[in-house]
Amino acid sequence: MNTVDFRRHLHSHPELSFEEHSTAAFISEQLDALGIEHRPIAGTGILARIEGRRGNLKRCVVLRADIDALPLQELTGVEWASQCDGVMHGCGHDCHAAILYGVLKRLQLERDFEGTVLGLFQPAEERGFAGARKVLEEDPFKEYDVAAVIGEHVDADLEVGELGFCPGKFMASADELHFVVKSVTAAGRMAKSPIVAAADLIMRLNAFNSDVCKVSVYRTVAEGIADHVAEECRVEAMMRTYDEKLRGRIKDMIAHATEEVEYKYDVEVATDIHHGYPCVENDTQLTYEAMLLADSHGYVVRDLERIGGEEDFGCYSQLYPSLYYRLGVSRAAGRKHTATFLPDERALAVGEEFMYQLSLSILNK
């Protein structure tokens, strides 16, 4: 099976996070046909292994592709459109998986490299389910010296043949902040307003904003009437940072801020932080080497700015030398996470060739 056909099959049969049973079965079937050793991982993922013909087999490169889809009703109208009502590969994970398949196919046929390649078809990247955490809970790389974890994402802001890179801090962490501010005085006209206390809390959260931290309050809810003070006010916010140490410090500062609000306004503040994905931080040397390699093979190399969006690839980049880059799929593809997102399939050949060359470059270094 070629890479395009592989991608189209996945696109026609999308599955949501941790429901990728048919997807995993299909991937397993195709790897079996190639004679590639593999096993299940993280429930609905697949971990493949190819050993080179020489060198230290404990030294490895991990190639990662996510495989889950989104709850969207596809509207592209292509022949290989989703056959699953309300589910669509609207973010390009089908492309990522197809590229990984193509790379593994070539490496298995040749095996002309040192060390070991691990191909990770990871479930549940979307919607905060963090399949990467489930993968790492199994500690699948403990027997290896991991030289690099490599991943990519299709990008409709780049044309086919363009590759985007950002050395160092690349994608933000994401934490949801939930606060319930309650008055501790008797309810009624003379009760102290939790709304005023919540307004002060919001201003304190806003004060944390900087070039490396963004706290965005997106919802406040308080239900009262004209002559009766609301008993509580709920505040919801999203916090993004580009540094894990700063992320921890800001959380400590938020706890201190809520204590000050409680004391100042005689209220109680219940805080619930939903800890999201960690920051994606690219290994600087690895990134620059990849940029030089891309340029030497005639691809257009684009310097990218930091991105506010999150990605569970950060779970790997916090533990191993990692590189997460962008693959151009044409501006005509439209916006990802929409029902009409349609990447240019010519990008598959670019993605496969570059990941293949990058793998060899790292392993044979």
Whether residue 305 is found in the same domain as residue 249: no
**Calpha distance 268→117 (Å, rounded):** 53
Residue 269 CB: number of other CB atoms within 10 A?
22
**What's the gap between Cα 118 and its chain centre?**
19
147 and 21 part of one domain: yes
DSSP-assigned letter for residue 18: T
Please tell me whether residues 62 and 150 are part of one structural domain.
Answer: yes
Task: Give yes or no: residues 132 and 153 share one domain.
Answer: yes
For the chain, the farthest-separated pair of C-alpha atoms sits apart, in whole angstroms, at 80
Task: Please check whether residues 112 and 22 belong to one and the same domain.
Answer: yes
> Are 317 and 226 members of one domain?
no
For residue 46, what are the CA distances in angstroms to 50, 101, 359?
13, 11, 19
Cα separation, 42 vs 125, in Å, equals 12
**Is residue 161 a contact partner of residue 47, using CB atoms and an 8 Å limit?**
no
Give me the tens of pLDDT residue by residue for the chain, a chain 365 residues long.
Answer: 999 999 999 999 999 999 999 999 999 999 999 999 999 999 999 999 999 999 999 999 999 999 999 999 999 999 999 999 999 999 999 999 999 999 999 999 999 999 999 999 999 999 777 899 999 999 999 999 999 999 999 999 999 999 999 999 999 999 999 999 998 865 555 457 899 999 999 999 999 999 889 999 999 999 877 767 788 999 999 999 999 999 999 999 999 999 999 999 999 999 999 999 999 999 999 999 999 999 999 999 999 999 988 999 999 999 999 999 999 999 999 999 999 999 999 999 999 999 999 999 999 98
Q: Residue type at 342? A: L
CA–CA distance, 264 with 192 (Å, rounded to integer): 11
Same domain, 260 and 300: no
Q: CA separation (Å) from 325 to 38, 159, 353?
A: 25, 14, 14
One DSSP character per residue, 84-113 reads: STT-B--SSHHHHHHHHHHHHHHHHHH--S
Q: 49: domain CATH number?
A: 3.40.630.10
pTM, rounded to two decimals: 0.92
Which of residues 226, 249, 274 is at a domain's end? 274
232-259 CB burial, b ≥16 within 10 A, e <16:
bbbbebbbbbbbeebbeebbeebeebbe
- How big is the chain, counted in residues? 365
Q: Are residues 264 and 295 in the same domain?
A: no
Of the residues 221, 246, 274, which one is the last residue of a structural domain?
274
Residues 29 and 143 in one domain: yes
Same domain, 102 and 190: no
Sign of the C-alpha dihedral, residues 68, 22, 88, 19?
A: negative
Residues 157-179 as b/e (b if ≥16 CB within 10 A, e otherwise) read bbbbebbbbbbebbbbbbbebeb
Give the range of the structural domain holding residue 324, as residue numbers without chain letter.
3-171+277-363
pLDDT for position 54: 93
Q: What is the pLDDT of residue 186?
A: 57
Q: pLDDT value at position 98?
A: 98
Do 66 and 18 form a contact (C-beta atoms < 8 A)? no
Per-residue pLDDT at 219: 97
Contact indicator for 158, 327 with CB cutoff of 8 Å = yes
Residue 53 and residue 101 in one domain: yes
Task: With CA atoms as reference, report the closest residue to 213 among 238, 242, 176.
Answer: 242
Amino acid 60 reads C
- How far apart, in Å, do the first and last CA atoms of the chain sit? 31
Q: pLDDT value at position 309?
A: 87
CATH of the domain at 194: 3.30.70.360
Helix ranges (H only) for 35-170 are 93-110, 131-137
Q: Count the domains in the chain.
A: 2
pLDDT at 128: 77
Helix (H, G, I), strand (E, B) or coil at 358: helix
SS3 151: strand
**What's at 300, amino acid-wise?**
V
Same domain, 213 and 112: no
Cβ–Cβ < 8 Å for 53, 122: no
Q: Which of 234, 252, 274 is the last residue of a domain?
A: 274
